[in-house]
A and B are shown apart, each in its own frame.
Chain A
């Protein structure tokens, strides 16, 4: 009963390094999302994908790129990490209008 799986769970990057957060869901959901959560800021949407082959910017897209590889997978890439991108990242998915399910989170620290 995997649900939404994201990797890695923990990562430390140096400023300027790049990395990709991977996310996969096995619930046949059309929509997938990437959020970041910072203390006192709540969950903020970075990018989302309403269906395979489409992606759209959310509230805080700067510094990130995404790729909806297929219906199951939605990756988030940091091309040149900055300390301001230190955060907890959550991948999520749902069928349009229905309950949203989250992965367990990825803790990223940029030093």
Chain B
């Protein structure tokens, strides 16, 4: 089983749609979790950290389920500017142990 798995997509959605991305991780000792966004030919940038109680930042909501080893990202009212690849990232807690998923590509259409 791969350490961090994501649906590669692409997810093609109309503006205003709600879209959800899922991510599973294999190491139960994982300590912290993040969603990064990567635009075409750009570097990954932090979108949001994922907390055990779930957290929201504007139109974005992240959830963590430690029992199921599952992370999610919900985007409400999608904008054209949300088009990007979303990377799930798991930190095993020691140096050099940030594990990146391969990313889920989102394309928001007018």
Contacts and interface: CB of A to CB of B under 8 A. Distances in A.
Interface of A: 31, 33, 35, 40-43, 45, 48, 50, 56, 58, 90, 96-97, 99-105
B44 A50 contact: no
Nearest to B98: A100
A101 B96 CA distance: 14
Contacts of B95: 31, 48, 50, 56, 96
9 contacts: A33-B96, A42-B87, A43-B100, A48-B95, A50-B96, A90-B43, A90-B44, A97-B93, A105-B43
Closest 3 interchain pairs by CB?
A: A42-B102, A102-B43, A50-B95
Given A90-B43, A102-B43, A105-B41, 4 more contacts: A33-B98, A45-B98, A97-B32, A99-B46
A56 B94 CA distance: 12
Residue in B43, B46, B87, B103 with the greatest tally of chain A CB atoms within 10 Å: B43
A48 B94 CA distance: 12
B1 interface: no
A99 B33 CA distance: 10
Given A97-B32, A99-B34, A43 B44 contact: yes
